[in-house]
Structure 1
Amino acid sequence: MTVLHQIDPIALDLGPLQVHWYGIMYLLGFGLAWWLGRRRVRAGRLPGVNEQAYGDLLFYSMLGVVLGGRFGYVLFYSFGEFLRDPLMLLRIWEGGMSFHGGLLGVMAAALWWARKYRLHFFDVMDFVAPLVPPGLGFGRLGNYIGGELWGKFTDGGWGVIFPRAPEFAGWSQTQLQAQFASGALERFARHPSQLYQAALEGLAMFVILWWYSRKPRPRYAVSGLFALLYGSFRFLVEFVRMPDPQLGYLAFGWLTMGQVLSLPLIALGLFWLGLSRRAPTLMPAPITASKG
């Protein structure tokens, strides 16, 4: 069934203050990470760390997501625009965040926090990895609500008409609704790739990683599985997702920047899983001494 996208990206309009659904999705992701992380702390999954110390980790990770995500977007996707207009780096409200940049930001925050509390970096990353997918899923739902990052045309019968797509430039909402009702827009139906990513990067990754990490696993294993899953899912979905217009396809008429950035994650995931076969296993323990 083809759907006409008509969701208002503004959840609450208070005149000078507008609350966007995308921002709410970020809050939901961080809120769920806080709740799930506290459960893992109470279960002793990061021995010697209390809830206050975990709160610090979450705060630094939030900064890493926002700053790393923005810097990564500028570096990977809009570096030419940045050279022409350096201030665009600060205009976060205009959109433009990169998962790969956000991941590097979180890793930097986790490294600093791990050294502060004298923990092994990958013990921290293994602890954090299962908490990330819900935020990814909510973020992709935010992309869908905002009608951005849509997919390629599809005749599969489940496509979505996105009014922000270039083929509808200059069209009014009344025109769109009338043409949609007549069936004239069926050929413009696109893959809702944002929902595919929400299902794979959000729901599927969370279920797999949460189940896998319920038992003690060797160091590197959970981080490796996270990297392998995300890299693989992202690489596959890029085949039905439109490339970033400022970059287009990088090679072969199909290779996108998202796929290029996902290949190192797949390689690292396999490498870390290989390392885990000879690594020690961190056993859960009740909190007996606070490090926060």
Structure 2
Amino acid sequence: MLIHPQIDPVALQLGPLAIHWYGLTYLAAFGLFYWLGTRRLGHLPFAHLPQWQKRDVEDILFLGVLGVVLGGRVGYCLFYKPAYYLSNPLEILALWQGGMSFHGGLLGVMLAMVWFARTRQRPFLQVMDFVAPCVPTGLAAGRMGNFMNGELWGRVADPSLPWGMVFRGAGDLPRHPSQLYQIALEGLLLFVLLWWFARKDRPMGQVSGAFLLGYGFFRFVAEFFREPDAHLGLLSLGMSMGQWLCVPMMLGGLVLWGWGARQANRS
């Protein structure tokens, strides 16, 4: 079995300023989004829409960062520890203590894109269709940060599993490196499928629907190998909180996909 490498969470120390690897993975995620967003402008229908310019990618990135940070933090507090943070509301602001939720970040980004769509007078689903294929690589970068920090480890694995890994702080038994599973599924595989699908002009809403459905499915599968939150454990039907939050995502993706197909048929 493998031993998780003990990586110093601080990548660079400049006097009192400590630059953490986790922060660098977030910067990498935002950089990848910008790079992919500028190339997304060449895809249909955006290549034929003169109002879509490079400055829109910059504005979307700025608003998206706010949505990820604020939504991710509020979502974690509401979904995973509501009683604690209701009793200690000031600790919601303690971002340095950790605690972010993807599903909360997704809702935050959606609200930010509502603002962008209204101020730019663009259809909301058109904006979301633009954004969706640029997101998975950022998710992969974030999961790499989790792996480097040795956090959000997987469930106990069969000792014969060749890549079973012992994580410091998780006992002496080998576990699934679920962060790497999530990098492969929610990050790289979802990106390849979604980028390929979105390169052609699709009915409005279908790219967004494909993202919701694809991420929800891959995250649902990965949760079978990820250790549930200690204070929550497994919930109804033996499913984790992450799996339950993926259910409405997948349903929403199917609805958007079907809605887009019907709109295309009417046209």
Could you state the TM-score of these two structures normalised by the residue count of structure 2? 0.93
SS for the counterpart of 1:13 is strand
Q: Does 1:247 align with 2:252?
A: no
Alpha-carbon distance in structure 1 between the residues aligned to 2:84 and 2:21? 27
Q: Does 1:258 align with 2:242?
A: yes
Deviation at 1:36, TM superposition (A): 1.0
Alpha-carbon distance in structure 2 between the residues aligned to 1:130 and 1:4? 31
1:2-60 per-position Cα deviation (integer Å, ceiling 9, x unaligned): 23332222211224211111111110011111111112225564321211132112101
Aligned to 2:189: 204
Aligned to 2:41: 41
Q: How does 1:18-167 map to 2 (within 5 A)?
A: 18-43=18-43, 45-46=45-46, 47=49, 48-155=51-158, 156-165=161-170, 167=171
In structure 2, the CA distance between the partners of 1:43 and 1:233, relative to structure 1 (3 Å rule), is: closer
Aligned to 1:172: none
Q: Which runs of 5+ in 2 are unaligned?
A: none
1:223-277 per-position Cα deviation (integer Å, ceiling 9, x unaligned): 111001111111111111111112111124x311101100000101111111111
Do 1:114 and 1:120's aligned partners in 2 also have CA atoms closer than 8 Å? yes
- How many residue pairs get aligned? The number is 260
In structure 2, the CA distance between the partners of 1:257 and 1:65, relative to structure 1 (3 Å rule), is: same
Q: RMSD in angstroms over aligned alpha carbons?
A: 1.5
Alpha-carbon distance in structure 2 between the residues aligned to 1:217 and 1:4? 43
In structure 2, the CA distance between the partners of 1:84 and 1:218, relative to structure 1 (3 Å rule), is: same
Deviation at 1:200, TM superposition (A): 0.5
Q: Does 1:270 align with 2:254?
A: yes
Relative contact order, CA 8 A, sep 6+: which one is greater?
1
Do 2:72 and 2:103's aligned partners in 1 also have CA atoms closer than 8 Å? yes
Do 2:155 and 2:175's aligned partners in 1 also have CA atoms closer than 8 Å? yes
1:168-222 per-position Cα deviation (integer Å, ceiling 9, x unaligned): xxxxxxxxxxxxxxxxx4xx11100001001111100110011111110111111
Alpha-carbon distance in structure 1 between the residues aligned to 2:192 and 2:143? 17
Deviation at 1:151, TM superposition (A): 0.5
Q: Which runs of 5+ in 1 are unaligned?
A: 168-184, 282-292
Do 2:44 and 2:199's aligned partners in 1 also have CA atoms closer than 8 Å? no
Do 1:148 and 1:164's aligned partners in 2 also have CA atoms closer than 8 Å? no
Aligned to 1:191: 176
Alpha-carbon distance in structure 1 between the residues aligned to 2:207 and 2:201? 10
In structure 2, the CA distance between the partners of 1:120 and 1:162, relative to structure 1 (3 Å rule), is: same
Could you state the TM-score of these two structures normalised by the residue count of structure 1? 0.86
Alignment-mate amino acid for residue 11 of structure 2 = A
Do 1:160 and 1:192's aligned partners in 2 also have CA atoms closer than 8 Å? yes
Alignment-mate amino acid for residue 27 of structure 2 = L
Structure label with greater radius of gyration: 1
Q: Does 1:2 align with 2:5?
A: no
Deviation at 1:127, TM superposition (A): 0.6
Do 1:5 and 1:160's aligned partners in 2 also have CA atoms closer than 8 Å? no
